[in-house]
Amino acid sequence: MSASLTRTWLAAVAAAALLAGCGSLGSESGASRRTSVYQNERFQADETFSRLFDASVEDTCEAARRALLSQGYVITTGQPDSISGRKRFQPDGEVHVELSFNIVCVPEGNGGKLATAYVSALQDRYAVKKSANSTSLGVSAIGSISVPLSSTQESLVKVASETVPAGQFYDRFFALMQRLLRDQGSATAATTASGPRDADTR
């Protein structure tokens, strides 16, 4: 084999090895992208969807219900220990977003005076999909002649769904719950304090 043929053969082998390596890296990169969603689930205690409140289960979930109502959410499920609600947004003409809250209140300790609220919010994104419908209008007097009629039908199609990650969004919601609990406690204390005086007045 001549020197030129040898160099050509070596160059071809090197190129094939390089392409195989790139393909392997590409497949590994694709696999990494496919598994990155659950790989990012760190399950660390500093990033949670929960908050401990100095209140009973019923009072905690009632504060969550009032917090949602105060921000325009529609309550879809209301139980003493669980609340669900949703709210719709329209960022622009052809994009719609629905935000859904799910809240579960769990007692802590034996006295029932503490409760943990577990909150998760789901964001569904919809886009307007347009489809053309065509029909024919037959004219019996003329016979076989028909006039095509077309119309456009619009429908909302879900294009994305994602749980809102833990962070400031939930911190603001928990802060509103805490304020409502504090206001509710102040109102209860005022009612209790004014009760005996009203009885003495009567």
pLDDT tens digits, one per residue of 49-89? 999 999 999 999 999 999 999 999 999 999 999 999 999 99
Under 8 Å between Cβ of 126 and 158 = yes
Mean pLDDT on 144-162 = 74
Q: Do 100 and 153 sit in the same domain of this protein?
A: yes
**CA atoms of 174 and 79, how far apart (whole Å):** 19
- CA-to-CA distance for 128 and 155, rounded, in angstroms? 6
pLDDT value at position 92?
86
Beta-ladder partners of 161: 124
Q: Report the domain count for the chain.
A: 2
Query: Is residue 197 in a domain?
Result: no
| Same-domain status, 90 and 181 | yes
> What is the share, in percent, of the chain residues with pLDDT greater than 90?
47
Token reading at 196: 């005996």
Q: What is the 3-state secondary structure (H, E, C) of 145-170?
A: CEEEEEEEEEEEEEEEEEECCCCHHH
Is the overall model pTM greater than 0.85, yes or no?
Answer: no
Q: Are 78 and 102 in contact (CB under 8 A)?
A: no
Do residues 79 and 22 share a domain?
A: no
Q: Write down the residue that tokens 């209301």 correspond to.
A: 78
C-alpha–C-alpha distance, residues 178 and 136, integer Å: 63
Domain match, 63 and 102 both: yes
d(CA 26, CA 28): 5
139 and 102 in one domain? yes
Q: Is the pLDDT of residue 180 over 90?
A: yes
- Establish if 202 belongs to a structural domain: no
Q: 163 vs 20, which has greater pLDDT?
A: 163
What CA–CA distances, in Å, run from 39 to 31, 103, 122, 164? Answer: 12, 26, 20, 17
Domain of residue 155, CATH code: 3.30.310.80
Q: What pLDDT is attached to residue 12?
A: 58
